[in-house]
Amino acid sequence: MGSAHHGRPLIAIVGPTAVGKTALALRLAQGLPVEVVSADSRQVYRYMDIGTAKPTAQQRRHVRHHLIDVVDPDDTFTLAQYQELAYSAIDEVLSRNRIPLLVGGTGLYVRSVLEGLGIPRVPPDRGLRAQLEAEAEAQGPEVLHRRLRELDPEAAERIDARNVRRVIRALEVCIRTGKPISRLQVKSLPPYRILRVGLTLPRDQLYKRIDERVDRMIKSGLLDEVRSLIERGYGLDLPSMSGLGYRQMGMYLRGEVSLDEAVALVKRHTRRLVRRQANWFRSDDSRITWFDVSGPVYEAILASVQGFVTAGR
């Protein structure tokens, strides 16, 4: 984890989709020697640019970004892999006396880095997953959750029965290792001084931004992006293609919905994601310094970041 940098600064910029995290990182880069370490579970995939709202080539020339375009859309990419690459990138940035900004809305990615989550190194077992998915489909998700409660009551307490993917992952680890996932998930705090900057907006303003952003993605060619991914041989059933925008455009291309319906679905599901993100980051509320970006808060954020950086010198 890079103990050579004990006490060196790491700044996390968190908050919901479309709140302006990338824009803030780019602005901070105008006055501070920062580099961005992405904490976005979709931006790791190559060829998926518009729907994941990746920073543009020009923005990436202006500020160095890490952990974008790491794997192909049909590659398996685990949380453990992400955590390992993120620590490497952070240490590399620090070794050049620059400041790493961990930027993204994927709560589990952020938490894996900031809290040093112990992640079981158990590769996905596709056969077992398919079997458990079929079971959940046929008998309802509660069946899997009950089994998890027998094998690992602590994990079952933490994981919502409706979150079938997480329940299946916990069962997979229990079955493959013979140990409860909760026992394998021991935290080991990373050796950084951490500042958590949270961006927030009143819900109605955020929803308006989401709608505008989705409309921009459509104008920028999201449909063609999905088409070209399919032409490259990436099936719509891949985990990478289940992301917002990709799944709905795929439904349109398969003739299941009209384009207007697909766009409306992207907007609705993005709003749902934002509500989930709000709950996720709320659980870390006491450690996050929140800024409402509906007003002019940049100077306050900059002062907070500068104060944090100089306090460690």
Question: Which of 53, 51, 60 has the alpha carbon at shortest distance from 25?
Answer: 60
Q: What is the pLDDT of residue 3?
A: 38
Pinpoint the residues of the chain covered by CATH 1.10.20.140.
126-184
Pinpoint the residues of the chain covered by CATH 3.40.50.300.
3-119+187-311
Cα–Cα distance between 70 and 135 in angstroms, integer? 33
Question: Which of 277, 299, 300, 294 has the alpha carbon at shortest distance from 14?
Answer: 277
pLDDT digits (tens, 9 = 90+) for 114-141: 999 888 777 788 899 999 999 999 999 8
**pTM of the shown model:** 0.83
Cα–Cα distance between 184 and 177 in angstroms, integer? 10
Q: Provide the residue count of the chain.
A: 313
Say which residues have a Cβ less than 8 Å from residue 77's Cβ, sequence separation at least 6.
Answer: 44, 45, 70, 71
Q: What is the pLDDT of residue 312?
A: 73
Q: What is the pLDDT of residue 158?
A: 85
pLDDT profile of the chain (313 residues), mean per 10: 62 96 96 97 97 95 97 94 97 97 94 88 85 92 92 90 90 88 78 96 96 98 98 95 95 97 98 90 87 96 95 78
Beta bridge partners of 194: 10
Q: What is the pLDDT of residue 1?
A: 40
Task: For domain 126-184, give the fold.
Answer: Histone, subunit A (1.10.20)
Q: What is the pLDDT of residue 38?
A: 98
Say if CB 76 and CB 140 are below 8 A apart: no
Q: What is the pLDDT of residue 183?
A: 76
Cα–Cα distance between 21 and 309 in angstroms, integer? 19
Q: What is the pLDDT of residue 225?
A: 98
Q: What is the pLDDT of residue 212?
A: 97
Strands 34-38 and 99-103: parallel
pLDDT digits (tens, 9 = 90+) for 33-50: 999 999 999 999 999 999
Cα–Cα distance between 37 and 102 in angstroms, integer? 5
CA 311 to chain centre: 29
Q: What is the pLDDT of residue 189?
A: 86
Say which residues have a Cβ less than 8 Å from residue 70's Cβ, sequence separation at least 6.
Answer: 44, 45, 46, 77, 85
Q: What is the pLDDT of residue 179?
A: 83
Alpha-carbon torsion 185, 190, 193, 199, what sign? negative
CA 6 to chain centre: 26
Q: Looking at the domain that runs over 3-119+187-311, which CATH code has it been given?
A: 3.40.50.300
Beta bridge partners of 102: 12, 37
Give the chain's radius of gyration (CA, Å).
20
